[in-house]
Amino acid sequence: MTVYSVDVEITAPVNDTEVTARVADAVTNLFPEADPTHREGELHAEVHTMEGFSEELHRGEILDTARSVFFDELAGNRFSFDLRKQAAFEGRVNFAVGDPAELGDIHVAVTVREPDAEAYIDYIAPPTEDGTPVDTE
């Protein structure tokens, strides 16, 4: 079994019209390991696993979409992506592409220390064949 060493930084703007606890729920729905703290108009959390998020990708059957987003943003040992807050509040993964949502999106920045970013992406969002994850090991 491979041991993964990752730092996942999650930030989400909290607008005056939003309830901070609801934005925190949106974050923890997709990243159950997160413990968001509020500071200067945004929530911030750091976790060292994406297990819960990976489960949501599998449940939502959006592994191919996730892989595409992750690899599009991959630079060295880092990749980042944005998620729609409303979908996250409902417990669904919806990648934000194009213009940001009116109230802002959840931003996730991932730094992989071990073994490497490509291997970690394969782990959290494995390649699929006809929509079914393919074992790469």
Q: Which domains does the chain show, CATH number per domain?
A: 5-127 (3.30.1440.10)
Q: How many residues does the chain have?
A: 137
Cis peptide before 100 (omega within 30 of 0): no
Residue 118 buriedness (CB in 10 A; 0-12 / 13-18 / 19+): middle
User: 10-residue block means of pLDDT along the chain (137 residues)?
Assistant: 89 94 97 95 96 95 96 97 96 91 94 95 92 71
Strand pairing partners for 109?
A: 9, 80
Which helix (DSSP H) or strand (DSSP E) does residue 24 occupy? helix 20-30
pLDDT at residue 52, rounded to an integer: 95
pLDDT at residue 136, rounded to an integer: 54
pLDDT at residue 125, rounded to an integer: 95
